[in-house]
Amino acid sequence: MDVDVIVVGAGAAGSAAALRAADGPGRVLVLERDPRYLDNSNTARSTGMVPAAGSALQRRAGVEDDPERMLADIMAKTGGSADRELARALCGASARLVDTMAEAWDAPLELVRDFRYPGHSADRMHAPPDRKGRTWLEVLAARLKARPNVDVALGAAVTDVRPSPDGSGYRVRVGDSGEEVTCRCLILATNGFGADPAMVAEHLPEISRAVYFGGPFSDGSGIRWGMAMGADTAFMDAYQGHGSIAPDAGTLVSWAVIVGGGFLLNARGERFCDESHGYSETALPVLAQPGGWVYDVFDEELRQEALRFADFRETDAMGVVGRAEDEGALASRLGVPPDALAATLEEIAACVRTGRPDRFGRRFARTLRPPYRFVRVTGALFHTQGGLRVDGKARVLRPDGVPIPGLYAAGGTAHGISGRGASGYLAGNGLLAALGLGLLAGEGAAARLAGAADA
């Protein structure tokens, strides 16, 4: 069987790549190993928030933003360690991406104005109304199904990828039968390696004992295939963690309760970090606490705000969000020393009164008001941010920086824009790299089929 473009993976990266490649002259085949990817993929598990600068939704809301400002935020969050070329390309394509999703692909998106994640200097998050990635992933799946020049094969496990003997394209082996499909352009969108314990231990030893909260098939296969074909890798030590997973429910607790004024409390009744830095870099401090878990502490007002998020609604419905009518009841319910809790609450109150930061550097705009709410949480690995080295056109590069002809990578299969470790992750940049690189890879494949020399 011969096609023009093969996309391996049907998550955010693969869907965007396939839809964009299908705008060109060729036939596109999407191979997805997981028949339940609409439930299991990292995209489906996410809040569906995509950052973009200069979008139509921003302009209509009067939000001033531009790609250079967004790039500056990324470089600041990563301490200058992110790949500037790739970050610039993704920031530059971000508005076109969300406008295409909303207008051409009919994905339900709105501009998030009610809160802002740490590190973003403008309201630039675009999300479905229920703030769940599965919502618009379903829409993209329907769009793929409607395209006459796109075929989607679910349960199609790719077992091997290699260049064609004559160098004209690629041979992709599928399933136990070893059936081979050939193509001129190959887009690897299989996500990262978070589900491969050996690769995590090798590249991310600091988070290797944490719970993995991503897609079960993110085993690094796309990265290994690329390496076998001579590709370089980059930022393999980068990842997105999360400091707020409810182990008693197996769900995510929205970081909105922290951004709004909540805090993390360990079993000694003490805070231990500046939670406002972000959820990714908080995973390790949480895991370092007694027992490897802590409490998210917030109030009823923040609970009501967080119910806008599908993941928090799921957590709340599981009955793991506790309630305490006053400070004494909170200490009792949490099992922490009352004097330690009182000191913690007084420190926050002093910050509010004086306008000064606390000893960790965090500033609080308000104190919590009874009734208090709380939930036990732990740290987790969400997804990896390192992978095959790509350029600003999503082309996979050799160690000498030369693109491998006709080979593209997107999402977790490609290296991201989070710099090193977990602290450089800026909220939404995982989906930006997935969808943005998918868009660029699809455009590159379509251009290559049309005869463009630099695609």
Residues 181 and 102 in one domain: yes
Residues 43 and 144 in one domain: yes
pLDDT at 189: 98
165 upstream amide cis, omega within 30 of 0: no
Is 250 within the bounds of a domain? yes
Provide the CATH number for the domain around residue 116. 3.50.50.60
Alpha-carbon distance 32 to 39, whole Å? 13
pLDDT at 177: 81
Residues 70 and 11 in one domain: yes
Residues 49 and 157 in one domain: yes
pLDDT at 178: 82
pLDDT at 409: 98
Pairing of β 5-8 and β 28-32: parallel
Residue 244 pLDDT greater than 80, yes or no: yes
Residues 112 and 257 in one domain: no
Residue 309 pLDDT greater than 90, yes or no: no
Per-residue confidence band for 45, with pLDDT thresholds at 50, 70 and 90: confident
Per-residue confidence band for 277, with pLDDT thresholds at 50, 70 and 90: confident
Q: What residues make up the domain containing 66?
A: 5-235+385-449
Provide the CATH number for the domain around residue 362. 3.90.700.10
Alpha-carbon distance 263 to 244, whole Å? 11
Residue 167 pLDDT greater than 90, yes or no: no
Alpha-carbon distance 416 to 194, whole Å? 14
Number of Cα atoms under 13 Å in the Cβ half of residue 252 = 26
Q: Are 239 and 194 in contact (CB under 8 A)?
A: yes
Which pair of structure tokens corresponds to residue 390? 């790509």
Residues 202 and 324 in one domain: no
Per-residue confidence band for 280, with pLDDT thresholds at 50, 70 and 90: very high
Residue 118 pLDDT greater than 90, yes or no: no
Identity of residue 181: V
Which pair of structure tokens corresponds to residue 201? 């231990």
Identity of residue 112: V
> Taking all residues of the chain, what is their mean pLDDT, rounded to a whole number?
95
Q: Note the pLDDT tens digit of each residue in 399-430.
A: 999 999 999 999 999 999 999 999 999 999 99
pLDDT at 28: 98
Residues 374 and 399 in one domain: no
Is 455 within the bounds of a domain? no
Final residue before a domain boundary, out of 380, 414, 438: 380
Residues 185 and 302 in one domain: no
pLDDT at 316: 95
Q: Note the pLDDT tens digit of each residue in 210-228.
A: 999 999 999 999 999 999 9
By CB atoms closer than 10 A (0-12, 13-18, 19+), residue 60 is exposed
Residues 211 and 332 in one domain: no
Per-residue confidence band for 150, with pLDDT thresholds at 50, 70 and 90: very high
pTM score, whole prediction: 0.94
Is 136 within the bounds of a domain? yes
Residues 297 and 394 in one domain: no
Is 35 within the bounds of a domain? yes
Residues 342 and 308 in one domain: yes
Q: Note the pLDDT tens digit of each residue in 48-82.
A: 999 999 999 999 999 999 999 999 999 999 999 99
Per-residue confidence band for 89, with pLDDT thresholds at 50, 70 and 90: very high
Which pair of structure tokens corresponds to residue 254? 């929205």
Give the C-alpha distances (Å, rounded to integers) separating 134 from 44, 113, 180, 443. Answer: 4, 21, 31, 24
Residues 195 and 130 in one domain: yes
Q: What's the total number of domains in the chain? A: 2
